[in-house]
Amino acid sequence: MKKWRLAILLGVIFFGVASAFFLNNPRFVLTLVQIEGNNFVSRDQISKFTKTYMGTNVVWVRYFSYLKSDLLTAFPQIEKLKVRITYQDGITLHVKEKQPWVSFLVSDKVLLVAKDGTILNDGAHSPALENSEKLLIVRGVSPQFFTGKQVNSRLLSNIEQVVATVRRYFPGDNLQLEFKQSSFSEDGIVFEELELLKDDTIRIKLGSFDDLDVKFKLLQAYLSTISVDQQQKIQVLDIRMPPKVIIKDGN
């Protein structure tokens, strides 16, 4: 029994000495951070954030530090993050960012927004995106709905309803949604006079949020009865009073 205790004690001492030697070995001190997969969060932003971890043991940074959770908190654009030791003195950050869900044109800036309401970019520039033409563009929303890194939650819930309905009936079309009137009220946000711009040519008057499904079914049914050439001649479709469709064309 004593031999087992002695063996355990010696093992603990050996592990402690080895760990102290390893953690204090200058060959394993962090001097290099590589970043992969980032788009909305710049390398400079991440590199600046990781400076405080430079000079720390790489194993400590990987397994015991708050680097990962700190980065996820500082940059809500990041959905997932993996930290891997790739060199004896370096780590690689594998970044997976949230996907753009809709884009807002606000004060001449394009804000790309994820499904959870995270504002992915600063609006000063829009990173190159695959299938960016399929993003629904929303215009006419006041800048007061966009503060910090998150879209106003009430705005988000209203937009989600419209986007889901639009994409259910027109999944791959080039569309822009414009709010002609929007304001705060005691009950929340009031949106009126919605308009949809389809293929950059047809302006579709939707009115309020009421009966959106009915309106889009009517719109889809009408467009399916006419040719592409005929659609290109249409200037305005008014479906604010279903089941009527009022048409204004270029003739």
Q: Is the peptide bond before 243 cis (omega within 30 degrees of 0)?
A: yes
Judged against a pLDDT cut of 50, whether residue 18 lies above it is answered with no
Percent of the chain beyond pLDDT 90? Answer: 25
DSSP H or E stretch at residue 238: strand 234-238
The mean pLDDT value of the chain amounts to 81
Q: What's the pTM value of the predicted model, to 2 decimals?
A: 0.79
List, for residues 33-49, the tens digit of each pLDDT value.
Answer: 999 999 999 999 999 99
Report CA dihedral (81, 84, 90, 95) to the nearest 10 degrees: -20
75 or 5: which carries more pLDDT confidence?
Answer: 75
Q: Where in the chain is the domain with CATH 3.10.20.310?
A: 28-97
List, for residues 208-230, the tens digit of each pLDDT value.
Answer: 878 888 888 888 888 888 888 88
241 or 115: which carries more pLDDT confidence?
Answer: 115
Sheet holding 32-36, edge to edge: 32-36, 90-97, 78-87
CATH dotted code for 28-97: 3.10.20.310
- Report the range of poorest mean pLDDT among 16-20, 62-66, 151-155: 16-20
List, for residues 108-163, the tens digit of each pLDDT value.
Answer: 888 999 999 999 998 766 676 766 667 888 888 888 888 888 888 878 887 888 88
Judged against a pLDDT cut of 70, whether residue 24 lies above it is answered with no
What kind of fold does domain 100-249 have according to CATH?
A: Rossmann fold (3.40.50)
Kindly give, in sequence order, each residue whose CB lies less than 8 Å from that of residue 56, ignoring residues fewer than 6 positions away: 29, 30, 65
Q: Where in the chain is the domain with CATH 3.40.50?
A: 100-249
Assign 172 to helix, strand or coil: coil
How far apart are alpha carbons 34 and 20 in whole angstroms?
Answer: 26
